[in-house]
Structure 1
Amino acid sequence: MKKKVVSLLAAMALAVTALAGCGSNDAATTGTDAATVAATTEAAGTTEAAGTTEAATDSEAVTGVKAGFIFLHDENSTYDLNFLNAAKAACEKLGIEYMTKTNIPEGQEAYEAACELADAGCNFIFADSFGHEDYIIEAAKEYPDVQFSHATGTKAHTEGLDNFHNAFASIYDGRYLAGIVAGMKLNEMIANGDITEDQAKMGYVGAYTYAEVMSGYTSFFLGARSVCPSVTMDVTFTGSWYDETAEKEAANKLIEGGCVLISQHADSMGAPTACETAGVPNVSYNGSTEAACPNTFLVSSRVNWEPYFEYAIKCVADGTPIDTDWCGTLETGSVELSDLGAAVAEGTAEAVEAAKADLIAGKTHVYDITTFTVDGKTLDSYEADIDTDPDYTPDHEVVSDGYFHESDVAFRSAPYFNVRIDGINLLDEQY
């Protein structure tokens, strides 16, 4: 109760600040379908913003929902910017009031942020980072009348809470398609005599050795190898989701080690700018980096969170249950590629469209067990840790029908592919 009282006072202070901001600084932005008036305050390294929106059409508008969003970083992180843009777009389209909290660490601060949003009247609250999950669950237990959703989390299906949900998307499909773009570029480099077939080595900057990262770099590699059979890949890790210096150093290390194309699962511009400086082709993540890296940018994949936000907000408005685990797809518009960069190889667009059609039709599966080996053997059976425990004990068979079933909502939405396949070399594993 004390926490709620303190949070209520904080929310009242924010409201006063917002009113003062509207009176003294009319910061209004107009979108295609809505007008947004936001007031922002900064304290202790975090940023809070409150927005009100007006829907363009009655058919899109919903009532009875105020949304709150919790972000690990701010707009300087490509990962968080992707969520911020989707939240703004969805709330404006549906005409609802919303609040955002940025730079919220993966600790008790996440619980406090969730409580403050709930006390401020938010009845749908979303957090965007893996490490937020335990703290959002704690808040969900305290506020049973508020719906909480969490991106990339693993525990909704085992917690058994009606008001806590996990969401993700089949981004491995997007990374596979981005890998095809990379493989086509390698083929062009081989054909031009820039490299030989055995020099077709890619590099990958990862944050941690989590299943989400392993699933991502493996799908990227398999996409590249589907068109460039000789490709290999080195992977290094930074131990942080966002560290521009470390990511730039990691990319440079990979380039110095003979990698002729770089991709990433880390959130800064470190790797792309290193590639632009070195003249090495780059596949980025969560948004196009072509403006900053016009000579080396090839493509970027991302999760489009707007479909999920619209879905969940409408569920709250209608009083219908939100799926415990929700996984968006290419078909739902939740997995996207950016426009191709000027540096891509000829024929790339056609190759990507053909592969995308096969993925949607179910003719191609990213983790088809005939396309890779583990220690020289086919992976015809694998138990994954679905019901997450501290020891990561395998508990569900996930290989059937000839492929590894990643992010299957029959299990859970968050990735659990942590298989080390042949052709990928991990340079370090301390993270």
Structure 2
Amino acid sequence: MSKFDLSRRSLLKAGLAGVAASALPYHIARAQGAVTVGIVYVGPRDDFGWNQAHAVAAKALKEVSGVTVIEEENVPETDAVAKSMESMINLDGANLILATSFGYYNPFVVDMAKKYPKVEFRHAAPLWSKDKDPANAGSYFPYLNQAHYVNGVAAGLSSASGKIGFVAAKPIPSVLSNINSVLLGARSVKPDATVRVIFTGDWSLPVREAEATNALVDAGCDVITCHVDSPKVVIETAEARGVKSLGHNASQAPLAPKGFITGAEYKWETIYKSFAADIAGAKTLPNFLVGGFDKDMLRSTPYGAGATEEAKKAADAARAALVKGEAIYKGTLKDNQGKVVVDKTYDNYDPYLDGMNWLLEGVQGSIT
């Protein structure tokens, strides 16, 4: 955190920015059609994971003419984020706030949106409710499981054993969807492929992540992937053990020059540029925006040395099919307890899949 960020917070605490409640810089920006975007991160921007994915998008946004980007990193999910957002509005003239961590939304984004009705607030998780939340707030979120399905295809054809290891934070629907999608991608090219999962219990536990990776390698997994905030430890540990790896959130390719295959990446800049264009054009921003490969909201990390030529071709084909709307969850599928959980073809955005609370047959592990 820079001294400048701290001084801005000090001004707010001292009340010196209170006179800006009418947000004079904001009105000037509006009058000129300018766009000032404030982006708040819960961790460091160079974490090789969740925060870095947003920072990559922020860099792209800075290259858009007429757009100013204000960033603050390492902001905890406390009233500190409210102070950061308010600072960006009153001191920097922000007319769009992007809150990028799950815990920022309620009450902080909601309260700030009520206090500043002429400022747009958008949050990177599908939490906005039309019935109870302010109209100048909203949610955006790409379905990363589509890119994990592509990861699975590449893994299936890059693994000698067909055993894929998955280090996961918590058994919530989005994580379970990524695990199951890796399995389905792998089994589309290698029907006997399996995924073994270990849950660490939280989003950032580096020691536990290293232990889980080592345990998976010891269990015979020769490809490792994950869903944790920063995959850095997982990827580096896999590389040190001489096994292949698949990325999550952002690019971890530099961390594994020998074993990296590809990765599932968010393409947040597609969303951020569309928001900025709407504000510049005095258009109403969508309150709820989701998508995947079909809406250019995801990308696969360029292939590394761990990807076979066969894997590259199959993964490219799988991604092209998803762009055209090919469904991932189809036919009859059982969970790893023997219960039928998929009995038809589901569109990739079907609400039923949003409530996923099971691991498919072929995934070794438990959510309880």
What do residues 385-410 of structure 1 show as CA deviations (whole Å, max 9, x unaligned)?
xxxxxxxxxxxxxxxxx3334545xx
**Matching residue of 1:76:** 46
**Matching residue of 1:192:** none
**For 2:72, which of 101, 109, 116 is the aligned residue?**
101
**For 2:61, which of 90, 102, 106 is the aligned residue?**
90
For 1:141 and 1:416, the matched residues in 2 are separated by: 29
Conserved in 1, the CA contact under 8 Å of 2:147 and 2:299? Answer: yes
Structure 1: 5+ residue runs without aligned partners? 13-61, 190-194, 382-401
For 1:263 and 1:303, the matched residues in 2 are separated by: 16
**Matching residue of 1:252:** 214
**For 1:6, which of 13, 20, 27 is the aligned residue?**
13
Conserved in 2, the CA contact under 8 Å of 1:207 and 1:265? Answer: yes
Correspondences of 1:302-381 after superposition (within 5 Å): 302-362=265-325, 364-370=326-332, 372-374=333-335, 375-380=337-342
Conserved in 2, the CA contact under 8 Å of 1:177 and 1:352? Answer: yes
For 2:176 and 2:233, the matched residues in 1 are separated by: 20
State percent identity of aligned pairs: 26
Distance 1:11 1:240, change over 3 A: farther
Conserved in 1, the CA contact under 8 Å of 2:34 and 2:66? Answer: no
1:157 to partner: Cα distance: 3.6
Conserved in 1, the CA contact under 8 Å of 2:95 and 2:120? Answer: yes
**For 1:172, which of 141, 145, 152 is the aligned residue?**
145
Correspondences of 1:370-409 after superposition (within 5 Å): 370=332, 372-374=333-335, 375-380=337-342, 402-407=344-349
Conserved in 1, the CA contact under 8 Å of 2:144 and 2:265? Answer: yes
Structure 2: 5+ residue runs without aligned partners? 1-9, 20-31
Structure 2 length as normaliser, TM-score? 0.85
Length, aligned pairs only: 342
Correspondences of 1:16-415 after superposition (within 5 Å): 63-77=33-47, 78-120=49-91, 121-134=93-106, 135-186=108-159, 189=160, 195=161, 200-266=162-228, 267-362=230-325, 364-370=326-332, 372-374=333-335, 375-380=337-342, 402-407=344-349, 415=354
2:263 is paired with a residue whose SS is strand
What do residues 81-115 of structure 1 show as CA deviations (whole Å, max 9, x unaligned)?
11012012113223312211111112222222222
Distance 1:184 1:323, change over 3 A: same
Q: CA RMSD in A?
A: 2.5
1:305 to partner: Cα distance: 0.4
Conserved in 2, the CA contact under 8 Å of 1:276 and 1:295? Answer: yes
Letter in 2 for 1:111: A
Letter in 2 for 1:356: R
What do residues 10-68 of structure 1 show as CA deviations (whole Å, max 9, x unaligned)?
799xxxxxxxxxxxxxxxxxxxxxxxxxxxxxxxxxxxxxxxxxxxxxxxxx9322110
**Matching residue of 1:423:** 362
Letter in 1 for 2:13: V
Conserved in 1, the CA contact under 8 Å of 2:140 and 2:290? Answer: yes
What do residues 365-401 of structure 1 show as CA deviations (whole Å, max 9, x unaligned)?
112243x2134343357xxxxxxxxxxxxxxxxxxxx
For 2:364 and 2:127, the matched residues in 1 are separated by: 27
Structure 1 length as normaliser, TM-score? 0.73
1:6 to partner: Cα distance: 3.1
Conserved in 1, the CA contact under 8 Å of 2:155 and 2:311? Answer: no
Conserved in 2, the CA contact under 8 Å of 1:308 and 1:328? Answer: no
What do residues 335-366 of structure 1 show as CA deviations (whole Å, max 9, x unaligned)?
1001111121231222122222222223x311
**Matching residue of 2:22:** none
For 2:17 and 2:237, the matched residues in 1 are separated by: 42
Conserved in 1, the CA contact under 8 Å of 2:262 and 2:301? Answer: yes
1:76 to partner: Cα distance: 3.2
Structure number with the higher helix fraction is 2
What do residues 205-224 of structure 1 show as CA deviations (whole Å, max 9, x unaligned)?
11112212111111111111
Conserved in 2, the CA contact under 8 Å of 1:111 and 1:136? Answer: yes
For 2:14 and 2:58, the matched residues in 1 are separated by: 23
